[in-house]
Structure 1
Amino acid sequence: MATQLTDPYRGFRFRVEIAGIQIAAFSEATVPDITVDTVDYREGTDPIYKRPLSGLTTYGHLSLKKGLTDGMDLYNWSQQVSQLGSGSKGAKKNISLVLMDSDGTDKVRWNIINAWPMKYETTGLNASSSEVMVETLELAMDYLTRVK
């Protein structure tokens, strides 16, 4: 019985879903890393060897980039957290990163739980450049899961 080989998905066709915020498109999104710390453990009866055990899990930051437009949603969300803190009502939002195949079918979904802006920045102003201005939002989160 032959197994069907599938090509890896390409990272250029994706969408970002943010609860309560409607945004046309992002040009770049990073999938945060997941790191499990290790704790060295030595049993009392073993005088020579220690073994690693799993410790706390930490999650990297989600970075979203898009062309700067009239839309104020990302900036306003950042300001809400800046002025009221991440514990304010509506400050933490669930986000989904959805990777699609060439036909536009959803293939991979990462759900980011309780994300909030920790950094907002734009590219600089430069009179000798014709490049598009980009706004970047860096987000902290409680955790993420890959559900598809």
Structure 2
Amino acid sequence: MTANNGTADSQTWPMPKFRFEVEFGDGFGHVAFQEVSGLDVEASVIDYRNSNSREFAPIKMPGLKKYGNVTLKGGVFVNDNTFWDLHTAINMGTVKRRTVVIKLLDENGSIAMQWTLMNAWPTRITSTDLKSDGNEVAVDTMELAHEGLTVYTGG
């Protein structure tokens, strides 16, 4: 790829997405996952028209932010109950909320981009399907609800 002046620039290549870490903290540390998805935020749209506006159409204004649930998929390992330990901490009306940090790493292992989920907690766990004729790896899925997403780009 070339920069605007026609010379090759190593900073213009997009980051590969296969090297990442997920950090739960509170004794869990780094947890290995196969896939992370749902890192999205949306601002709702408010239609507003002032009573003395000469336009016959409302203006669009940003409203409340909505954060989608984040889905984590990870392999099932012998004697590893991390998914279930996080989920069993939920009691009626109470839950241990955590700061979850997802880090995209460059080829040197340095943080290239980081997403921080505030007050995250597991809302759903789906265990692997079982098939007697299958040859796939067993994968559990966890869905995290959270109350905020901040993005940091290392650099």
What one-letter code is carried by the residue in structure 2 that aligns with 1:51? I
The 1-side partners of 2:112 and 2:105 are apart by 5
Shift of 1:86: 6.0
Aligned 8 A contact 1:86 1:116 in 2? no
Q: Which runs of 5+ in 1 are unaligned?
A: none
- Residue type of the alignment partner of 2:47: D
Deviation track 1:1-59 (CA, whole Å, cap 9, x = no partner) reads: 95944211011011111112135511111142100001000011125121011111000
In structure 1, distance between residues paired with 2:140 and 2:122 = 13
Residue number among 77, 87, 90 corresponding to 1:78 in the alignment: 87
Q: Which runs of 5+ in 2 are unaligned?
A: none
1:146 matched to 2:155: no
| RMSD of aligned residue pairs (Cα, Å) | 1.9
**1:37 alignment counterpart:** 44
Q: CA deviation at 1:85?
A: 4.0
What SS does the corresponding residue of 2:136 show, helix, strand or coil? coil
3-state SS of paired residue (1:103): coil
Greater shift, 111-120 or 22-31, is seen at 22-31
The separation in 2 between residues aligned to 1:22 and 1:128, in whole angstroms, is 35
Cα 1:28–1:36 change in 2 (3 A) is: same
Q: Structure 1 residues 23-32 or 5-14, which shifts more? A: 23-32
Deviates more, 1:136-145 or 1:22-31: 22-31
Partner of 1:54: 62
Matched with 1:15 is 21
In structure 1, which of residues 25, 29, 39 is the aligned counterpart of residue 32 of structure 2?
25
Contact 2:21–2:30 (CA under 8 A) maintained in structure 1: no
Looking at structure 2, the residues matched to 12 and 86 of structure 1 have their Cα atoms a distance apart, in angstroms, of 37
Alignment of 1:88-99 (within 5 A): 88=95, 91-99=96-104
Corresponding residue pairs, total: 144
Q: Report if the CA contact (8 A) 1:86-1:92 is conserved.
A: no
Q: Distance in 2 between matches of 1:133 and 1:86?
A: 31
The corresponding residue for 1:113 is: 118
Give identity over the alignment, percent: 28
1:147 match: secondary structure: strand
Distance 2:31 2:145 in 1: 22
